[in-house]
Amino acid sequence: MLHRRRDVATIVVSEDLVRFADEIPETIEVGKRKKEGVELGWLGYPNVAPASLCFFSGRTSSYLEEEQAYLIDGVAINGVSGGPVFDRYQELIGLVTAYIPNMAHTAQALPGLCLAYDIESLRKVVEEFRTMDEAKDEEMRSPDTTDPNEGGGPKGEPKPSQGASRAD
């Protein structure tokens, strides 16, 4: 599932192909968000050290309601996008998505802001996948499903041996 406006993609991977962590991180409580001035940290593999997991930190500067994203006074250089953003309690707050450079016209390089999408908006995507998985599981358990080893018509149609007649 691709979210072009957000620059976020969801990739479904089979558990047969990848070993997943036994535990998933705690997330911030549904409907809550961090206030301005709270210290957050994030992880990533920046291009300047692609083989090294690096830690970054900053403080929340603002929350963009329309974007459902935090502006954080910290660096998010290339390679850090998609990295998890945590609070001091190790709760997952969001995902790093971009670095917004300071566009002030000065001779000095000025720091910009990290943009991190709120985990709340990403929970909806997870729920969509969970719903699709549940629907797929339900379809597999449904008594309406024809067993291909028993012959018969497509799902929901009676087998010819059950008194149905076909006009050819």
Go through the chain and tell me how many residues it has: 168
User: Per the domain annotation, does 128 fall within a domain?
Assistant: yes
In a domain, 125, yes or no: yes
Please check whether residue 36 lies inside any domain of the structure. Answer: yes
In a domain, 151, yes or no: no
Any domain includes 155: no
Q: Are 81 and 97 in contact (CB under 8 A)?
A: yes
Q: Please compute Rg for the chain using Cα positions.
A: 24
For residue 7, what pLDDT band results from cuts at 50, 70 and 90? low
> Using one digit for the tens of pLDDT, what is the confidence trace for 111-125?
788 999 998 877 777
One-letter-per-residue 3-state SS of the chain: CEECCCCEECCCCCCCCCCCCCCCCCECCCCCCCCCCCEEEEEECCCCCCCCCEEEEEEEEEEECCCCEEEECCCCCCCCCCCEEECCCCCEEEEEEEEECCCCCCCCCCCCEEEEEEHHHHHHHHHHHHHHHHHHHHHHHCCCCCCCCCCCCCCCCCCHHHCCCCCC
Q: Does 63 map to a domain?
A: yes
Burial 127-153 (b: 16+ CB within 10 A, else e): eeeeeeeeeeeeeeeeeeeeeeeeebe
Range of the domain at 38: 2-141
* 150, part of any domain: no
Range with the poorest average pLDDT among 14-18, 85-89, 141-145: 141-145
CA distances from 92 to 28, 32, 78, 84, 89 (A): 6, 12, 21, 7, 9
Domain-embedded: residue 89: yes
In this predicted structure, which of 36-45, 92-101, 132-141 has the lowest mean pLDDT?
A: 132-141
Mean pLDDT for 87-116 is 83
Total domains present in the chain: 1
| 47-71 mean pLDDT | 90
Q: For the domain that residue 55 is a member of, what is the CATH number?
A: 2.40.10.10
Q: Across residues 137-157, what is the average pLDDT?
A: 56
